[in-house]
Structure 1
Amino acid sequence: MTNDTTVKASTRRDIVKYGGAVVGGGLLAGCTGNGDPDTPEGTDSPDETSYSVEMSPVGDVTLEEPPTDVFTHFPWFADMATALGQGDSINNVWWDGTASTLEYFTSDLEGVDIPWRDETESYGFTKEQVYELDSDLHLVDPAWVTTQDNWTRADIDEVTNNVGSWLGNYYSNFHATPPDDWADGYEYYELWELFERVATLYGEQSRYEALASVRENMLETIERERPPESDRPTVAYLSISTDLSAIYLLRLNAPGYFNAHSRPLGAVDAFGDEQWDGAFKQIDMEALLEADPDAILALWTVTDAVGFEAMVQNLRDDPAGSELRAVNNDRVYVQGTRWQGPLMNLFQMEMTAKQLYPEQFGAWPRYENGDTYPVFDESERLFDHQRLADIINGDI
């Protein structure tokens, strides 16, 4: 027996069919049936011309047409929309003061801009804001939303019924633990698995496949050319304040999209298999000196959040920092953010490969505050930048 339930929006949008046992107890239970007794034989059923995906924790989401007004909060979804040539569909995003980061990485891509930069908002959002924007789709994990003030599962259901569907999977970031109410059956995805589902709802499968091919070619190059593990550097992936007052350790090779650019490089984590809860672990300079990595990847340093040049100078002036091998060998490197979508992922992987394996992939140039992404000759690129721009601009 099947259960085919269509949720009708009370706005101008006749959104969605929402299947699966998903967002809230009152929404839907069971699976979506394909059989429609009112569909004559020999004609297409509605499902055959729809835009449909399945993803935890929301289950099945089907749109009748590609979305043109899309609400999101975390910027990796805005990055995805930009990669698909749909950046102007984003009507809301939190970008925590680092909107320039994606512009830094894409500065050399002709015809590619960040149209949602002016749509950035402060952290968090209210149900009233969601209603006011009246979006076709909400690219936010409802499990995460219910951890925020004044949001319940009943609110999630209400927005689904009256405005538009939710799609997101926040806790795939580093395979974090979702809220108890959502933990049963919660699945984890890699960045490009999330991206493929978003592309499907936009009706941009061909563009996704072309972008995925660019990435696969780079992964093959890295796999083929990187040195054997015994010759790879030890690396500390850190968030360091400019004045060194706070040092936080991140995982280098963990599963999840926070490490989508560093994990494929297979460098050796200077802190080994050390475990902790949360995305970061605070450490002091003595702990860093004890690990004494060959190289340091310093998060947020191509953003306005950290002054890279001042931070490096402070490391050189610090009694313990000045003894670090990475400091003495000039191997403290800039990084972007962990909030990466597919575009930032491509560039950060190329950048980090050059930083960690300069003999194999060409050296990363010295960074000065305010720089844009270096313009490499074609022979020095790990992926085809022009092909990437062409795909984004519609030449698939």
Structure 2
Amino acid sequence: MSDDDLAHEAPTRREYVKYGGAFIGGGLLAGCTGQPDTGGTPTAASTDTAAVTETGTQTEQGSYTVEMFPVGEVEFESVPESVTTYSMAWADMVVSLGQAEKLQTDRLSGPTLFYDRFDIDYDMNWPPLWQDGGMPKEVFYEHDPDAFLIDPNLIQAWDDNWEDADVEEIESNVAPFFGCMNRRFRNEWQQEVGYPERAPSMLEAFEKVGAVLDERTRVEAWLDLHEDLQSELQSRIPDDPETPSIGLINSGSSPESGEFYVLYLEDNGYEMKPYRDLGLVEADAFAGVETGQYGLTDYETLLEVDPDLILVHWGITTGSVTFGGDGAFDAEQFREKFVAPMENDDVGSQLTAVQEGRVLPGPTAEQGPLVNAFQTELTARLFYPEEFGELDLDAPLDVSEEKQLFDRQRVADILDGNL
């Protein structure tokens, strides 16, 4: 398929009207104008005096551009000194680049479990972007960053008060938007705008953020670490593993009321990356099982499927502020919320995973390079404890040095800039 064919498959966000709605015009897909996708390498600025620098294409005035779906080519007057994001994954990208002090967000409590190991400090005392069922435009002015690492399509999908004119107003008066909702692609608006085909992967998005923040050397260091981790992982996965069947439920499930929200390992997007990297997609016990809206199901269906292992998506961050904790994983809180109700239910108590004590916390959905490194190791330990180390719920990230998949000191060095 040619670039022109791709360009006409989906409209830009400025042609996108409303969630699931119609489109205006038939212009080109943002970020797809016949030029190849160059990963984290910024695109050429439209000026005769442009010069390519390590940051990207830079004009005599010092500005540069970076291109990414769905926002297209975005110009930055200088390297941002402050960034606002709603996504903890995109925040983790900034943290991974050693730039945590630039973050303006209230939503970093989940990764505390991972960040405390490196004494990473960040300011969470910023007004939340999500307030009273929407994202009031005024709070974007209040943050006043140099860049919003947020997908403007997501804002318009979540808040009907936002229109293209509002996005343009914020871009004009405050800062550009540079983000992509690439965690999952279930929504109708994502399907219609071409996210499954065009959205960057976690690492591709990380390269883009690295280009924006002029951190190419740190990006390369993380890519090398990720490659080494994946190589080590693949070399140690048993040749003929007896992989248990997996029942993945969202942490929004309520075992006490018998309501469970099923997730599918085959879903694309970065939230299922640890399962894909471990080759676990085919172990999904719910593959092909009919469920209700948002994967809603009940104890009876769970028992019919009867997975060997029930994993709670986002479970490893049960101790986050979202769940009333301080950010550290709380094994007792996890048990009270998810395990005990199953044990006390007439049908739930018959589940194999419940009887064998295999209702366990799964990875969080939000992850950049740093969190993903720990979560890949965590997921490996959930399935192959003899090879990768037993999981201690009181210290879920602790593993002996000989069992580790990656060098913690190397992570610390990257964060500190000792490259």
CA deviation map 1:224-274 (0-9, x unaligned) = 222346622211111233625321111123211121222211221111244
Residue equivalent to 2:94: 81
Residue equivalent to 2:200: 189
Alignment partner for residue 324 of structure 1, among 339, 344, 351? 351
CA deviation map 1:290-319 (0-9, x unaligned) = 111121111233324393122322222222
Q: Secondary structure at the match of 2:111?
A: helix
Q: Secondary structure at the match of 1:293?
A: coil
RMSD of aligned C-alpha atoms? 3.2
Mean Cα deviation higher: 295-304 or 66-75: 295-304
**Is 1:243 aligned with 2:252?**
no
Q: Secondary structure at the match of 2:117?
A: coil
Residue equivalent to 1:213: 224
Residue equivalent to 1:104: 113
Residue equivalent to 2:303: 289
- For 2:343 and 2:154, how far apart are their aligned partners in 1? 40
More strand by share: 1
**Is the CA contact (8 Å cut-off) linking 1:108 and 1:373 kept in structure 2?**
no
Residue equivalent to 2:342: 315
- For 2:104 and 2:403, how far apart are their aligned partners in 1? 37
Query: What displacement does 1:80 show?
Result: 1.3
CA 1:75/1:120 → structure 2, altered by over 3 Å: closer, same or farther? Answer: farther
Query: What displacement does 1:23 show?
Result: 5.3
Alignment partner for residue 152 of structure 2, among 139, 142, 164? 142
Query: What displacement does 1:34 show?
Result: 4.9
**% of aligned pairs identical?**
33
Residue equivalent to 1:270: 285
Give the aligned length. 361
CA deviation map 1:127-178 (0-9, x unaligned) = 22212322211111111112213110111122222221111111x2222345
- For 1:292 and 1:242, how far apart are their aligned partners in 2? 15
Mean Cα deviation higher: 135-144 or 239-248: 239-248
Query: What displacement does 1:387 show?
Result: 1.1
Gaps of 5+ in 2: 1-10, 16-24, 36-42, 325-332
Alignment partner for residue 266 of structure 2, among 253, 259, 280? 253
- For 2:301 and 2:362, how far apart are their aligned partners in 1? 21
**Is 1:204 aligned with 2:215?**
yes
Query: What displacement does 1:277 show?
Result: 8.9
- For 2:363 and 2:48, how far apart are their aligned partners in 1? 53
**Is 1:303 aligned with 2:303?**
no
CA 1:100/1:272 → structure 2, altered by over 3 Å: closer, same or farther? Answer: same
**Is 1:349 aligned with 2:376?**
yes
| TM-score normalised to structure 2 length | 0.77
**Is the CA contact (8 Å cut-off) linking 2:13 and 2:193 kept in structure 1?**
no
CA 1:184/1:251 → structure 2, altered by over 3 Å: closer, same or farther? Answer: closer
- For 1:290 and 1:277, how far apart are their aligned partners in 2? 16
Question: Following TM superposition, where does structure 1 have runs of at least 4 consecutive aligned residues deviating by more than 4 angstroms?
Answer: 25-35, 37-40, 47-51, 274-278
Q: Secondary structure at the match of 1:376?
A: coil
Residue equivalent to 1:224: 235
Residue equivalent to 2:185: 175
**Is the CA contact (8 Å cut-off) linking 2:86 and 2:129 kept in structure 1?**
no
Query: What displacement does 1:62 show?
Result: 2.7
Query: What displacement does 1:202 show?
Result: 0.4
- For 2:307 and 2:57, how far apart are their aligned partners in 1? 59
Residue equivalent to 1:151: 162
Query: What displacement does 1:360 show?
Result: 2.2
Q: Secondary structure at the match of 1:81?
A: helix
CA 1:39/1:295 → structure 2, altered by over 3 Å: closer, same or farther? Answer: closer
